[in-house]
Amino acid sequence: MGDLITCLWFDGRATEAVRFYAEVFGDEAEIHGGLTHPGVAPGSEGEPLTVEFTIRGQKFMGLNGGPMFTFSEATSFQIMCRDQAEVDHFWEALTADGGETGQCGWCKDRFGVSWQVVPEALPRLLSGGGARAKRVMEAFMPMTKLDIAAIEAAAAEVPA
């Protein structure tokens, strides 16, 4: 059985986007190469058609497919972060230079790709439901970049 590869459609900016992701993820990303355009629209002969790369072992392909399709929040990539330093790093990098902040840890990079920057602690603090999960939800839902200390404080509150 072949690999499952996520294809990201860009309007001529695949190489730029892949280089950006490699910079953001550092040692966790690798660019592998790709195909050059045969000269059939959209695109010019010899320009990059695809760029293959991996992030955290997941295979991706950037495709210079033209302006027909764009990204939406219906698809996003979730980055599970060990600590606040990782949350801060990914949030600042992805929202820089034209990226957009969103609510509850969601953001878009400058290419329009949606990301969820999530502390690993969040699913654990939400598990089990009940009053604690409600307090955690109430704490993180209005946030843009997630604040682990504030979320953990909400989880630790003893109801009156």
Q: Tell me: the pLDDT tens digits for 99-152?
A: 999 999 999 999 999 999 999 999 999 998 899 999 999 999 999 999 999 999
The whole-number pLDDT of residue 41 equals: 72
Cα 147 to Cα 15, 104, 153: the distances in Å are 33, 10, 10
Closest by CA position to 118, among listed 102, 98, 97? 102
Angle of CA points 3, 78, 144, to nearest 5°: 160
pLDDT at residue 40, as a whole number? 80
CB 20 within 8 A of CB 109: yes
pLDDT of residue 159: 64
Kindly list the domain boundaries of the chain, sorted by start residue. 1-68, 71-160
Alpha-carbon distance of 136 to 140, in angstroms, equals: 6
CATH class of 1-68: alpha beta
Contacts of 22 (CB under 8 A, 6+ apart): 29, 30, 31, 53
CATH superfamily of the 71-160 domain: 2,3-Dihydroxybiphenyl 1,2-Dioxygenase, domain 1 (3.10.180.10)
Q: Which pLDDT value is given to residue 43?
A: 78
Task: Say if 1-68 and 71-160 have the same CATH topology.
Answer: yes
Please give the model's pTM, rounded to 2 decimal places. Answer: 0.92
CA angle 32, 73, 34 (to 5 degrees): 15
Contacts of 155 (CB under 8 A, 6+ apart): 125, 132, 135, 136, 139
Distance, in Å, from the CA atom of 133 to the CA atom of 149, rounded to the nearest integer, reads 15
